[in-house]
Structure 1
Amino acid sequence: MNIKNFKYNEVGLNRFFGTLEAKIMELLWEEEIEEMSIKEVQLKLEQDKPLNFNTVMTVMNRLVDKGMLVKRTEARHSLYRPNQSKERFIDEQSKKLTENLYEEFGGLVVNHMIDVLKDVDQDLLNQLANKIQQLKRDSE
């Protein structure tokens, strides 16, 4: 999925999705049930505030169109599940964001990323050092 409008002032999934889209994705990723119907999603989300069934259906079908959910029809019910894990989604989006920032701003972005590593654990520093060494070897 290509995120067209990354919202850096937001937090969590709201950086990538609208508010209801983010709640639906989070719910489907957290649930231990493999698939959920629109009604099941609506009932779970209504614990926060009342939601119209048609609103939930529209947003879920929009997430299908965006490639985030897979829809399967069984009898008269549509069942939905995420197209990928939350971890894979975050990994892909953070990589695309980093690539876009690097393409636009170059080494400045890398310097700023390193600057925010003040309180990073030693394991991550070792992983980064290994990656840099591998890049150096590959470019020789």
Structure 2
Amino acid sequence: MKITNFKFHERGLNRFFGPLEARILDILWEKPEQSIKAVQEKLDQEKPINFNTVMTVMNRLVDKGILSRRSAGRSSVYSPTESKEHFLEKQSKEITHELIEDFGPLVVNHMIDAIEDVNPELLEQLEQKIKAMKKER
């Protein structure tokens, strides 16, 4: 599944999804195999939300391939099709490759600057990875 709409000015999962989609996914990543009603009740604890709205969003996430649905008696249960970690790994890799393809050395330089500004330990990890890659060649 490839996300085609990346929202630069949002944070976290909201960069890939709408706020309700992101919240539903967080709930299901925390505890898969939940019904629409269970998810709606969890969302209601934060802010009241209509059952039909939750059902529509969850079914759209199924259509997008992000959630799976299976019958469980008279209702259905929903689960993410992949872990949050795997989803974020794939999306960040895709974004990075596209940025490098479009902007080349500029992106690499800005990423290194950002790593150094945010966490110098990440710069050390990057250096180790580059050394390992050079040895493999």
Runs of 4+ in 1 over 4 A off after TM superposition: none
TM-score (norm 1): 0.89
Cα distance between partner residues in 1 of 2:16 and 2:52? 22
Cα distance between partner residues in 2 of 1:29 and 1:74? 19
Cα distance between partner residues in 1 of 2:8 and 2:68? 27
Residue 29 (structure 1) shift? 1.2
* Aligned with 1:100 (options 84, 98, 115): 98
Asked if the contact 2:112/2:123 (under 8 Å) is kept, the reply is: no
Unaligned runs of 5+ residues in structure 2 are none
SS class of match (2:54): helix
Question: For residue 21 of structure 1, what is the aligned residue in structure 2?
Answer: 21
* Aligned with 1:51 (options 49, 52, 58): 49
Cα distance between partner residues in 1 of 2:115 and 2:76? 45
Cα distance between partner residues in 1 of 2:132 and 2:53? 50
Unaligned runs of 5+ residues in structure 1 are none
Cα distance between partner residues in 2 of 1:72 and 1:51? 23
TM-score (norm 2): 0.91
Cα distance between partner residues in 2 of 1:121 and 1:72? 46
Amino acid at match of 1:66: K
Residue 127 (structure 1) shift? 2.5
Cα distance between partner residues in 2 of 1:42 and 1:109? 41
Residue 5 (structure 1) shift? 0.9
Aligned identity (percent) is 59
Aligned residues: 136
SS class of match (1:73): strand
Residue 39 (structure 1) shift? 0.5
Residue 138 (structure 1) shift? 4.2
Cα distance between partner residues in 2 of 1:85 and 1:46? 24
Amino acid at match of 2:36: I
Question: For residue 120 of structure 1, what is the aligned residue in structure 2?
Answer: 119
List aligned pairs for 1:34-45, cutoff 5 A: 34-45=32-43
Cα distance between partner residues in 2 of 1:11 and 1:131? 27
Cα distance between partner residues in 2 of 1:104 and 1:136? 24
SS class of match (2:115): coil
Cα distance between partner residues in 1 of 2:90 and 2:10? 18
